[in-house]
């Protein structure tokens, strides 16, 4: 069952943003839930919502041409490692989701400002601000998607929208086992590596704290957009 972490912005003049935590989910089930929420948001049945989840191991392929070429193992090998492979409709290339990673799915209406690029910059800033509060000076990288520490990628971003309602979102490596990334060329990038908060800080990081900060930053930036 979804758990409401924070159902309303502190600034009551702004539209409320619900924050839900789905816990551990299988990717295809979570995608179906996202699609249902998008329909509900379009119809006005729900308000803007930020969903957190932590997926069972999965490689997801986005709509970027050639994404399949960046899968370095076959289905049987992936299955033997406990990883499923799913084609999806988000933007971007191939990435990995698994335990220890915070995945954020904002289901929000961009009708007031129909600018996907501005929305992507907002997601980037949410991640940069959150990592900064936890002691990591992350940033954008020219010509690359996601959030980086130098040439080490710590968060991936890939979104889609339907009638200006967004879905998919971001994935932040917190305590993630990075081993499965060796089975792909993450996001098609050959001049960088992946990293996690655990590796960079030299200690495990509380997932609940990360989600709380992400929610707070998302709500603040969404209210001020």
93-148: pLDDT as tens digits? 999 999 999 999 999 999 988 999 999 999 999 999 999 999 999 999 998 889 99
pTM of the predicted protein model: 0.92
Q: Which domain holds residue 25?
A: 3-224
Is the pLDDT at 160 greater than 50? The verdict is yes
Q: pLDDT: is 11 or 186 the higher one?
A: 186
Identify the CATH number of the domain in which residue 212 sits.
Answer: 3.30.930.10
pLDDT in tens, 25-54: 999 999 999 999 999 999 999 999 999 999
* Amino acid 57: pLDDT: 98
Total number of domains constituting the chain: 1
pLDDT in tens, 161-205: 999 999 999 999 999 999 999 999 988 888 889 999 999 999 999
Q: Is 23 helix (H, G, I), strand (E, B) or coil?
A: strand
Give the separation between CA 53 and CA 88, rounded to whole angstroms. 17
* Amino acid 112: pLDDT: 86
Residues with Cβ within 8 Å of 225's Cβ and at least 6 positions away in sequence, in order, are: 113, 118, 122
Task: Round the average pLDDT of the chain to a whole number and report it.
Answer: 92
Catalytic residue among 147, 156, 187, 189: 187
* Amino acid 13: pLDDT: 46
Token pair for 134:
């936890």
* Angle separating helix axes 116-133 and 207-224, nearest 10 degrees: 140
* Amino acid 8: pLDDT: 40
* Amino acid 189: pLDDT: 85
Annotated active-site residue 187? The verdict is yes
């Amino acid at each position: 069952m979804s758990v409401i972490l924070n159902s309303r912005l502190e600034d009551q003049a702004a539209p409320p943003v619900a924050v839900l935590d789905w816990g551990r989910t299988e990717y295809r089930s979570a995608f179906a839930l996202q699609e249902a929420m998008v329909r509900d948001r379009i119809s006005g049945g729900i308000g803007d919502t930020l969903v957190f989840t932590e997926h069972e191991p999965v490689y997801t392929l986005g709509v970027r041409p050639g994404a399949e070429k960046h899968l370095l193992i076959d289905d049987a090998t992936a299955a033997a490692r406990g990883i499923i492979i799913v084609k999806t409709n988000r933007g971007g290339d191939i990435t990995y989701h698994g335990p220890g990673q915070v995945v954020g799915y904002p289901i929000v209406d961009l009708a007031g400002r129909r600018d996907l690029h501005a929305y992507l910059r907002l997601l980037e800033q949410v991640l940069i601000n959150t990592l900064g509060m936890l002691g990591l000076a992350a940033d954008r990288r020219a010509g690359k998607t996601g959030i980086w520490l130098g040439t080490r990628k710590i968060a991936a971003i890939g979104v889609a929208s339907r009638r200006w309602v967004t879905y998919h979102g971001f994935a932040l490596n917190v305590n993630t086992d990075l081993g499965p990334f060796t089975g792909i060329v993450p996001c098609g990038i050959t001049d960088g590596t992946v990293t996690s908060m655990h590796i960079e800080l030299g200690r495990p990081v509380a997932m609940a704290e990360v989600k709380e900060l992400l929610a707070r930053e998302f709500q603040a930036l969404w209210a001020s957009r």
